[in-house]
Amino acid sequence: MARPVSSFHRFANPGRFMRLAGRLMPWFAAVTVVLMGAGLYFALFDSPADYQQGDSVRIMYVHVPSAWMALFVYVSIAAASAAALIWRHPLADLFAKAASPLGAGFTALALLTGILWGKPAWGDWWVWDARLTSVLVLFFLYLGHIGLMYAFDDAARGAKAAAILALVGVINVPIIKFSVDWWNTLHQPASVIKLSGPTIHPTMLVPLLLLAVGFTFYFLTLVLVRMKSEIVAARIRAMRLAQLGA
Amino acid sequence: MIRALRAIAGRDLRLALRLGSETMTVLVFFVLTVILFPFGVGPAPETLAKIAPGILWVTALLASMLSLERLFAGDYEDGSLEWLSLAPVPLELVVLSKALAHWLTTGLPLVVMAPVLGVLLHLDPAGTLTMIAAMALGTPALTLIGAIGAALTLGARRGGVLLSLLVLPLYIPVLIFGVSAVDAAIFGLGAGPRLLILGGLALFALALAPFAAAAALRQAIE
């Protein structure tokens, strides 16, 4: 039963994980700095302004990667939750706990930049556009996940409940997306100006992709920091308890 | 299995009938909130008729959420939930029976009351039948989805607020198709497809919610 079948289980050992995370983290952080720096340079200085939207189109370079990360992090939390429930992998719970506030942060960033972009592009701070609305719902799914995680005196109970919720949520995300699209087309057909065109010029695509990968590494770096600090905090708690017992 | 379902649902129904509070709470909330709207938006019949489907659905949704907290809480606190989990039937069936009893005591009264309140709000008579059909299909989905939230928040601090936060995003599809079905019937677009999707949502919830809620209950009584 306890036979380590793969590397998947080998890293269930917190000590081994701490060593690996410690080795990876500086590299991840370096990649983040390089990619984000280059991406931001291209995005802010070396890419053309949109012929319709002017410089406000540069909000896109933060907005789009944030929105991608918002979804990506939610899916990764769901995958980790499945691993936590099926194999009782201890690090999977830890990952979900560490990633959820980060995902909520990316979602909030996507919403805020969307609001800031909405004013110059659509002439209004908030439009009940299908995508904006879906991201808003996703934000509430994140808040529920975080709230449930910390709602119990027993942390393990909160982790398990949150894992079940994440799985229920990830099944529902496509349904919510589909119904919001339907609702939007029913209530306000084509009141929203679409982005300038279906194709995007390479001068815009390159910084966008650089920033998207940069955001991913930024997330990975932070998640490792948060997971490590969780493990350290658990050790400190255990030591304090041992001291009390002695 | 069917006998167990009848026994558990029957027990919950008897409890609800003798205590009598749940159904009344939900109905009173539903009626009071709906009555507030004419004061809020003005008594003009055309304004009210226009937003009547939305008002009825949103308030019905909030009313049904109001009763969710007690779905498992009573049995959890007095320990009967542990006995039920030891019974020789799957916990999923227990969830299903309790959800059935919950729907009969809180969902069904909403379905019955909605057309009456529709009259107060000048809901177009063309939409009344669809309103009943949509509510009859939608409220079971609300109860089933709500059962997941109720099971997850058992024993949580500030469980009530948390429960609404968990459940409301998941309610949105039901709300959208519930309202759009009634609107479609009023504008003569044919409510059929919307009702079918609503039914599909209910069946989907029926198939998955008992498993998710039972998983949540298991870790609550562990």
Q: Which of A147, A157, A168 sits opposite B165 (nearest CB)?
A: A147
Q: Is residue A2 part of a domain?
A: no
In whole angstroms, what is the distance from residue A154 CA to residue A93 CA?
A: 14
Considering only alpha carbons, which residue of chain A is nearest residue B213? A164
Say if residue A108's pLDDT is above 90. Answer: yes
In a domain, residue A35? The reply is no
Residue A231 belongs to what domain range? 57-189+204-245
Look up the ipTM and state it.
Answer: 0.83
Interface of A with B (CB under 8 A): 85, 137, 140-141, 143-144, 147-148, 151-153, 157, 160-161, 164-165, 167-169, 171-172, 175-176, 178-180, 182-183, 186
Query: Do B212 and A164 make contact, defined as CB atoms within 8 angstroms?
Result: yes
Residue with the larger pLDDT of the pair A24 and A130: A24
Task: For residue B145, name the pLDDT band (cuts at 50, 70, 90).
Answer: very high
Query: Does A42 fall in a domain?
Result: no
* Cβ pairs A/B, distance under 8 A: 82
b/e code A87-121 from CB counts within 10 Å (16+ = b): eebbbbbbbbbbbbbbbbbbbbbbbebbeebbeeb
Residue B150 has pLDDT above 60, yes or no: yes
Higher pLDDT, B97 or A127: B97
Lowest mean pLDDT across A139-143, B16-20, B132-136: B16-20
| Token pair for B5 | 């379902």
Which of A42-51, A102-111, A129-138, B123-132 tops mean pLDDT?
Answer: A102-111
pLDDT at residue B98, rounded to an integer: 87
Using pLDDT thresholds of 50, 70 and 90, give the confidence band for residue A189: very low
Where do the domains of chain B lie? 2-221
> How many structural domains are present in chain A?
1
Test mutation, A157, A164, A173, chain B, max B CBs within 10 A: A164
Res A56: pLDDT? 72
Tell me the average pLDDT across B164-193.
Answer: 84
CA–CA separation, A199 and A44 (whole Å):
20
Contact residues on chain B for A85, CB-CB shorter than 8 A: 215
For residue A13, what are the CA distances in angstroms to A192, A195, A236? 51, 48, 17
pLDDT greater than 90 at residue A105: yes
- Tell me how far apart the alpha carbons of residues B72 and B12 are, in angstroms, rounded to a whole number: 11
Evaluate whether B137 touches B195 at the Cβ level (below 8 Å). yes
Stretch B72-82: mean pLDDT, rounded?
81
What pLDDT score does A192 carry? 43
Secondary structure class of B50 (helix, strand, coil):
helix
Tens digits of per-residue pLDDT, B24-70?
888 889 999 988 888 888 888 888 888 888 889 999 999 888 888 88
pLDDT over 60 (residue A164): yes
Contact B177 A164 (CB under 8 A): no
Residue A63 near residue A113, CB atoms below 8 Å? yes
